[in-house]
A and B are shown apart, each in its own frame.
Chain A
Amino acid sequence: MTRYLVARVLQAVIAVFFALTAVFFLVRITGDPVILFLPLDVQPKDITEFRHLLGFDQPVWVQYGTFLGRALHGDFGASLRYRAPALPLVLQRFPATVKLAVVSLALVAAGAVPIGVVSASHRGSLVDTLGIAVTALGQAVPGFWLGLMLIWIFGVWLRWFPVSGYGDWTHFVLPALTLAAFYAAQIARVTRSAVLDALGQDYVRTARAKGMSEPNVLARHVLKNAAIPVVTVFGLNAGQLLGGAVVTETIFAWPGLGGYILNALLGRDFPVVMVGVLFTSLIYVTMNFLVDLSYLWLNPQVRYG
């Protein structure tokens, strides 16, 4: 088991390193950002001076080396736009994203999993068809359209919820619904097929033959076995949500990670982009790891090491 853990940590480090390197060079393809930070009436030689001040006149490899050297000490430089250290700026945005992700995932789990289970156990019935249709709609409808519709209906017209922003529980409802709608479909379908799969197994037939009631069969035999694919997809979704749901955050003026990194990218604010990439790749790697660990509990036959 220890060997497995060490291997996983090593893999994580390599993955993050590659992500950082790839993004470092990719963003520089778009050219240097110096001009974007200067007034429109700037003269060419001032651009050169400013470029030198910010260190962008050095060869890319030298810039990369400097970046790595500093990063190993935890110094990710200062945001080009905000003139403040990049790492704390990005960290500040994390809580808002986490809270929204947690609420959205809770909604998904509370809504989609039961739909999937019910659909599978009443396969072919009206309930099944309805369940799948509704969730498929959730996945097909573009997130920005759904978000804006919710804003107009519940925010502007009915005035039940605030239109945007981050605050008390009322601010969470619309954005969480928007996010949940999309992921619910996926989870419902995966749950449905996983449960169907489990229902077809021998041990289920045996349990039924023994006279066990259907709900009992579901609870004691089916769910745990069906859980593995569901948990996998759930983990992936959680990784995406924790990395910041960019479209939703923008529409709802949610001060989270996704919108922040996107703006940094559009504004060519390289130091913030690098910290953002570090964060999101760490999140993904961690979520994957947690999912893999959960298999140990869900399926005793799984062994690592």
Chain B
Amino acid sequence: MKRSAVILLMFGLGTLLLPAGIVAQTKPTQVTIGIGSEPLTLMGATIVDWTTNAQLENIYDLLFTRDPKDERIVPWLATGYKVVDDKTWEVTLRRDVRFHDRERFDASSVKFTFDYLLDPKNKTHYLPRFKRVQSVEVVNDSTVRFRTSEPYPSLLNDLSLPGPFMLAPVYVQKVGIEYASSHPIGTGPYKFKEWVRGERLVLTKNPDYWAGPVKIDTVIFRVIPEFSARLAALLSGEIDVMKDVPPQAVDTVNRSGRATVRSTVSSRINYLALETLHPGPMQNVKVRQAINYAVDVDELIKTVLAGQSTRICDYVSRFDPAYTPAVKCYGYNPDKAKQLLVEAGFDPGKLTLTLDTPTGRYPLDKEVSEAIAAQLGKIGLTVHVQVNEWRSHLDKIINRKVGDMFFLGWGPDLEPTGTIAQLFVGSLTYSSFGDPKIEEMIHKAEQITNPQANAAAYQKIQEALQPMAPWVPLWQQHDLYGVATWIKWQPRPDEKVWMWEATAK
């Protein structure tokens, strides 16, 4: 063939392929996330529920957020803050942000959000959490002041976790709360497109997102309550992301070719609480110490969890500023355990204890509880494991009708006032332990607004708790997510499923 003809042919073929190239590049990307239940409302700052907030944080923004690697608080819709005095916080705001309906985000949006949140008429779940906030003042368009009724050191933390999401005042006042609760407008990376109750929530990208370009075009949250059906949907390609792949299914997912399991060390801690708030052997400190010596936590991690968790010896996660390696583990020592029990006046072979556990709420919670019972059996104790439905489990703990020990998880644990101050004051809801000296220390620590001094105070509290052995601290769980291979996204320790951070490979 003549040379010029060949070149012409190649050129011609090349131009034929060009449209395919353009189409391949501009094909819209869509991520479908399989989720266990539908959102309870689409209005921010109303309901405390992980599933609801996981979906809402793609539509709305917070004033502050968390760094995905170390969970440190970073400004988001805010640009900074200043502690004016013990009861006043000043927060400066970004000036270039607009809601999805083009209205401006400014100080009046913040005031509106908190007026809504704190109004008893709205019965939001955030009212108890933020009730120390007396009022939010507009200083100028880009500055607000939070006035609190008493020192509120964890205000910043509470503002950085879902979800006092910023609501759009003009919109909500125009359409009313009920309509806005099913047709949300926020400042976030995704706009609301469609909500078919019980089935799916469809979001499309916000092309004017203030924080930068949004890479995934459409995000769909599909409701699949049963986890094995969710797994099946992941494997068949019907969904692209699922949270909480059970450890037994990890191999199946990785071998499927469609998705891989990505894990992260979570900020959620699991522990075995030793109940002292009703009469029983656990009220004796030697018995509690004995249990600590008799449980081999490393063996639990190795055999039950296949290594998928990170041990803690203190009472908070590593993402919590109050984390302290100074609090050491008791260590596995069955002989010491038996000795302590005898010293406490009990015959190990004749002692019967109950262990309450939920099932399926935390990774292998029931299996871990049964393994703990077996370990305690090795020193002669008889342990009955009582498996509870989740809400009954909570009911028992709240009403102090739970057994001698119970398994529980807590998190995301990113600061001590949400953890230590809640779990070691005897009168508080989910506590299993009370001691006047500890409560005094906690009460003092709750007043300290300086972050470093605050963390140091809580570290001291943990050092004081150690010999009292209120728990057997177990681990930070590993969150396992099944993610389609074409998606580039890393799970976060604070459990946010934030599609703003995802791109197609």
Taking CB atoms, residues of chain A closer than 8 Å to B129 are 39, 41-42
The reply to whether B178 and A84 form a contact with Cβ atoms under 8 Å apart is: yes
Complex: A255 Cα to B225 Cα, angstroms: 10
Chain B residue nearest to A266 in the complex (CB): B391
The reply to whether B128 and A46 form a contact with Cβ atoms under 8 Å apart is: yes
Chain B residue nearest to A78 in the complex (CB): B123
Chain B residue nearest to A159 in the complex (CB): B236
Query: Interface 1/0s, chain A 263-300, versus B by CB < 8 A?
Result: 10011100000000000000000000000000000000
Q: Which of A30, A46, A260 contacts B131 (CB 8 A)?
A: A46
**Chain B interface residue number, banded:** 35 or more
Q: Which of B197, B235, B429 contacts A156 (CB 8 A)?
A: B235
Selected interface stretch from A98-106, A119-127, A147-155, A194-202 = A147-155
A162 within 8 Å of B (CB atoms): yes
The reply to whether B428 and A53 form a contact with Cβ atoms under 8 Å apart is: no
B170 within 8 Å of A (CB atoms): no
Complex: A131 Cα to B93 Cα, angstroms: 74
The reply to whether B422 and A40 form a contact with Cβ atoms under 8 Å apart is: yes
Complex: A163 Cα to B196 Cα, angstroms: 18
Within 8 A of B (CB), among A129-153: 148, 151-152
From known contacts A164-B224, A255-B198, infer whether A42 and B392 are also in contact, taking CB-CB under 8 Å: no
A9 within 8 Å of B (CB atoms): no
The distance from the CB of A172 to the nearest CB of chain B, in whole angstroms, is 15
The distance from the CB of B4 to the nearest CB of chain A, in whole angstroms, is 50
The reply to whether B418 and A41 form a contact with Cβ atoms under 8 Å apart is: yes
Chain B residue nearest to A166 in the complex (CB): B199
Complex: A255 Cα to B47 Cα, angstroms: 22
Complex: A151 Cα to B238 Cα, angstroms: 12
Taking CB atoms, residues of chain B closer than 8 Å to A31 are 395, 399
B398 within 8 Å of A (CB atoms): yes
Chain B residue nearest to A167 in the complex (CB): B199
B410 within 8 Å of A (CB atoms): yes
B260 within 8 Å of A (CB atoms): no
Selected interface stretch from A217-225, A231-239, A245-253 = A245-253
**Chain A interface residue number, banded:** 35 or more
The distance from the CB of A273 to the nearest CB of chain B, in whole angstroms, is 13
B226 within 8 Å of A (CB atoms): yes
Complex: A43 Cα to B425 Cα, angstroms: 11
The reply to whether A253 and B224 form a contact with Cβ atoms under 8 Å apart is: yes
Complex: A43 Cα to B391 Cα, angstroms: 18
The reply to whether B394 and A35 form a contact with Cβ atoms under 8 Å apart is: yes
The reply to whether B399 and A155 form a contact with Cβ atoms under 8 Å apart is: no
The reply to whether B198 and A268 form a contact with Cβ atoms under 8 Å apart is: no
The reply to whether A151 and B229 form a contact with Cβ atoms under 8 Å apart is: yes
The distance from the CB of B418 to the nearest CB of chain A, in whole angstroms, is 5
The reply to whether A155 and B429 form a contact with Cβ atoms under 8 Å apart is: no
The distance from the CB of B128 to the nearest CB of chain A, in whole angstroms, is 3
A304 within 8 Å of B (CB atoms): no
The reply to whether B236 and A156 form a contact with Cβ atoms under 8 Å apart is: yes
B41 within 8 Å of A (CB atoms): yes
Query: Interface 1/0s, chain B 141-185, versus A by CB < 8 A?
Result: 000000000000000000000000000000000000010010000
The reply to whether B391 and A250 form a contact with Cβ atoms under 8 Å apart is: no
Complex: A162 Cα to B222 Cα, angstroms: 13
The reply to whether A81 and B429 form a contact with Cβ atoms under 8 Å apart is: no
Complex: A72 Cα to B192 Cα, angstroms: 37
Taking CB atoms, residues of chain A closer than 8 Å to B46 are 83
Taking CB atoms, residues of chain A closer than 8 Å to B199 are 165-166, 253, 255
The reply to whether A148 and B228 form a contact with Cβ atoms under 8 Å apart is: yes
Taking CB atoms, residues of chain A closer than 8 Å to B228 are 148, 151, 251
Complex: A268 Cα to B398 Cα, angstroms: 16
Taking CB atoms, residues of chain B closer than 8 Å to A266 are 389-391
Taking CB atoms, residues of chain B closer than 8 Å to A159 are 236
Complex: A37 Cα to B427 Cα, angstroms: 19
From known contacts A30-B395, A38-B48, A38-B125, infer whether A260 and B238 are also in contact, taking CB-CB under 8 Å: no
Q: Which of B395, B398, B428 contacts A43 (CB 8 A)?
A: B428
From known contacts A41-B422, A151-B232, A164-B233, infer whether A47 and B429 are also in contact, taking CB-CB under 8 Å: yes
A11 within 8 Å of B (CB atoms): no
Complex: A250 Cα to B230 Cα, angstroms: 11
The reply to whether A152 and B398 form a contact with Cβ atoms under 8 Å apart is: no
B37 within 8 Å of A (CB atoms): yes
The distance from the CB of A250 to the nearest CB of chain B, in whole angstroms, is 5
Complex: A151 Cα to B233 Cα, angstroms: 9
The reply to whether A82 and B40 form a contact with Cβ atoms under 8 Å apart is: yes
- Count of A-B contacts with CB under 8 A? 123
The distance from the CB of A205 to the nearest CB of chain B, in whole angstroms, is 54
Q: Which of B125, B222, B389, B430 contacts A165 (CB 8 A)?
A: B222
Query: Interface 1/0s, chain A 77-103, versus B by CB < 8 A?
Result: 000011110000100110000000000
The distance from the CB of A105 to the nearest CB of chain B, in whole angstroms, is 22
Chain B residue nearest to A54 in the complex (CB): B123
Chain B residue nearest to A164 in the complex (CB): B229
The distance from the CB of B485 to the nearest CB of chain A, in whole angstroms, is 16
Complex: A38 Cα to B47 Cα, angstroms: 8
Taking CB atoms, residues of chain A closer than 8 Å to B398 are 35
The reply to whether A163 and B198 form a contact with Cβ atoms under 8 Å apart is: no
The reply to whether B198 and A53 form a contact with Cβ atoms under 8 Å apart is: no
Chain B residue nearest to A89 in the complex (CB): B197
Taking CB atoms, residues of chain A closer than 8 Å to B410 are 40
Query: Interface 1/0s, chain A 254-266, versus B by CB < 8 A?
Result: 0100011001001
Query: Interface 1/0s, chain B 109-134, versus A by CB < 8 A?
Result: 00000000000100101111101000
The distance from the CB of A122 to the nearest CB of chain B, in whole angstroms, is 40
Query: Interface 1/0s, chain B 418-432, versus A by CB < 8 A?
Result: 100010000111100
A67 within 8 Å of B (CB atoms): no
Give the one of A39, A41, A259 with max B CB within 10 A.
A41
Taking CB atoms, residues of chain A closer than 8 Å to B126 are 39
Q: Which of A89, A152, A263 contacts B232 (CB 8 A)?
A: A152
From known contacts A31-B399, A37-B125, A83-B181, infer whether A163 and B232 are also in contact, taking CB-CB under 8 Å: yes
Complex: A21 Cα to B418 Cα, angstroms: 40
From known contacts A164-B224, A164-B229, A255-B198, infer whether A263 and B37 are also in contact, taking CB-CB under 8 Å: yes
Taking CB atoms, residues of chain B closer than 8 Å to A162 are 238
Chain A residue nearest to B225 in the complex (CB): A250
From known contacts A151-B232, A166-B199, A251-B226, infer whether A46 and B127 are also in contact, taking CB-CB under 8 Å: yes
Taking CB atoms, residues of chain A closer than 8 Å to B232 are 148, 151-152, 155-156, 163-164
B74 within 8 Å of A (CB atoms): no
Complex: A251 Cα to B422 Cα, angstroms: 37
B223 within 8 Å of A (CB atoms): yes
From known contacts A39-B128, A164-B224, infer whether A30 and B394 are also in contact, taking CB-CB under 8 Å: no
A44 within 8 Å of B (CB atoms): yes
The reply to whether A255 and B236 form a contact with Cβ atoms under 8 Å apart is: no
The distance from the CB of B152 to the nearest CB of chain A, in whole angstroms, is 13
Complex: A156 Cα to B58 Cα, angstroms: 30
The reply to whether A163 and B394 form a contact with Cβ atoms under 8 Å apart is: no
A residues engaging B (CB < 8 A)?
30-31, 35-44, 46-47, 49-50, 53-54, 81-84, 89, 92-93, 148, 151-152, 155-156, 159, 162-166, 250-253, 255, 259-260, 263, 266-268
7 pairs across A/B with beta carbons < 8 Å? A35-B394, A40-B429, A44-B428, A50-B128, A53-B120, A155-B236, A266-B390
Question: Which 5 pairs across A and B sit closest by C-beta, in order of nearness?
Answer: A255-B198, A46-B128, A39-B48, A253-B224, A156-B236
